[in-house]
Amino acid sequence: MAVAVGSVEQLCREARQASRALARTPTGVKDAALEAIAAALEERLVEILEANEHDMQAGREAEIGDALLDRLKLDEGRVRAIAAAVRQIAALGDPVGEVIDGQRLPNGLDVRKVRVPLGVVAVVYEARPNVTIDATALCLKSGNAIVLRGSSTARNSNDALARIAADAAVLAGLPDGCVSLVAGGGREELSELATQRETIDLIIPRGGESLKEALQAVATVPVIYAASGNCHVYVDAAAELQAALSIVLNAKLQRPGVCNAAETLLVHEAVAERFVPMAAAALSEAGVTLRADPRALELAVPAAGALAEPAAEEDWHTEYLGPTLAVRVVSSLAEALEHIDRYGSGHSEAIVTRDTAAARAFQLGVDAACVYVNASTRFTDGGEFGMGAEIGNSTQKLHARGPIGLRELCTFKYLVEGDGHVRA
């Protein structure tokens, strides 16, 4: 496997060369390579866990926090789940060559719009070694070469995973250079990678706002930002309150340190006196601090005690990625929509209601990649959506939105066939 120790430019040129061969690689060969990667992950489990423990120990010493440590951690269950996701991707249909549209023109020309790989995709990510494999499997299946650049926090884990994947893929028949890892986690490598316009077709960053800002400052390569998630759950006047409680607890607690976890709870005033105390009791019992507006705070304090605090303006903007939840009582659905429009990040938003008209108004009124009715925001995930895995969740509107899977890693071209046609 290519690992950049000197020239990132050379590594990217090798990836470009590999991408030309990958674009023509039959589906069966790609699928066999993914199966080989999955098997290698399971066979070399001890090696992976030992590398990860080095990163975990360094993270604990650096006091990076529980949320980041949870993202960083690998255990046998997580590695086997990563391998299972690779097999799920292998079992999906190959997007390359799919006919999106086609017609015979009045002049007799046959025109087909077909899906093709982007070419070389660079993925930049922080403290999540599973992304090394998820991104690799998605790119290889969609006929793209991949250049990985992880963070220094996960250096040992990423190196082990990328080497295992690259070795298995090449032995299974994919070209050398199809999987590359940029060594180090410094801004110098990031800047060099982000300016390889001749060889890289797309960069996908998966991380916090600081990574996004760093790329925006230097990137000359097209970027799809797999951005942060300031996600909301709105409990409507017509909500079934026990269902609402289950959804709120799942959205906040099932895995707090991820981008599709809820960060703000909005409650209609018609049900606030009943719902806020029950939610506050359950959330505080789970150790969640509530940052509440005056109406919500008055209702929450008797149940949550010291874990209920007054909210400041910055709380509505914050992606906590931990055991803190902002809470606000609103007077109407319109006020909830206004709040989400002002503070939301366009990631995932949810309404809990039995009112069909309110649900429809929420779906039409919220500008986000994923909009839920009576379901947790935690479902925004490529695996949950049947994509096998994802590289990230885009909050942009061009070229991809929501989970970035196989089809989002393709572009298209027009194939035009004639019989001696010339234009008059």
Locate the domains of the chain by residue range. 2-226+391-417, 231-379
Task: Please choose, from the candidates 356, 348, 355, 353, the residue with its C-alpha nearest in 3D space to the C-alpha of residue 374.
Answer: 353
- pLDDT score recorded for residue 5: 46
**Local confidence band at 97 (pLDDT 50, 70, 90 cut-offs):** very high
Whether domain 231-379 has CATH 3.40.309.10: the reply is yes
Question: Above pLDDT 90, what percent of the chain?
Answer: 85
- How confident is the model over 226-233, as a mean pLDDT? 88
- How confident is the model over 146-166, as a mean pLDDT? 95
- pLDDT score recorded for residue 183: 77
Scanning 118-208, the segments in alpha helix (DSSP H) are 130-141, 155-171, 187-193
pLDDT 10s digits, 188-223:
788 899 999 999 999 999 877 788 888 888 999 999
Lowest mean pLDDT among 181-185, 260-264, 306-310: 181-185
- How confident is the model over 319-339, as a mean pLDDT? 97
Question: Above pLDDT 70, what percent of the chain?
Answer: 98
Is 323 in a helix, a strand, or coil? coil
Who contacts 165 (Cβ-Cβ below 8 Å, separation ≥6)?
Answer: 37, 40, 41, 132, 133, 136, 137, 179
pLDDT of 52 over the 50 cut: yes
Half-sphere exposure of 198 (CA within 13 A, CB side): 9
Lowest mean pLDDT among 8-12, 273-277, 288-292: 8-12
Is 78 in a helix, a strand, or coil? helix
β-strands 179-182, 145-149 pairing? parallel
Tell me if 2-226+391-417 shares its fold with 231-379.
Answer: no
Domain covering 2-226+391-417, topology: Aldehyde Dehydrogenase; Chain A, domain 1 (3.40.605)
Q: Could you tell me what percentage of the chain is helix, strand and coil, using 3-state DSSP and rounding each to the nearest 5?
A: 45, 20, 35
Which residue has 């991809």 as its token pair? 400
Q: Which helix (H) or strand (E) holds 50?
A: helix 45-61
Q: Whole-angstrom Cα distance, residue 424 to residue 37?
A: 54
- How confident is the model over 342-369, as a mean pLDDT? 97
Computed over every residue of the chain, the mean pLDDT equals: 94
- pLDDT score recorded for residue 23: 97
- pLDDT score recorded for residue 206: 85
pLDDT of 3 over the 60 cut: no
- Per the DSSP assignment, residues forming a β-bridge with 328 are 266
- pLDDT score recorded for residue 225: 85
Q: Whole-angstrom Cα distance, residue 248 to residue 352?
A: 9
- pLDDT score recorded for residue 71: 87
- pLDDT score recorded for residue 190: 86
Q: DSSP letter for 199, please.
A: T
| pTM for this prediction | 0.88
CA angle 309, 315, 318 (to 5 degrees): 135
- pLDDT score recorded for residue 387: 87
- How confident is the model over 243-256, as a mean pLDDT? 97
- pLDDT score recorded for residue 127: 81
77: left (phi over 0), alpha (psi -120 to 50) or beta: alpha
Q: How many CB atoms lie within 10 A of CB 243?
A: 15
- pLDDT score recorded for residue 186: 67
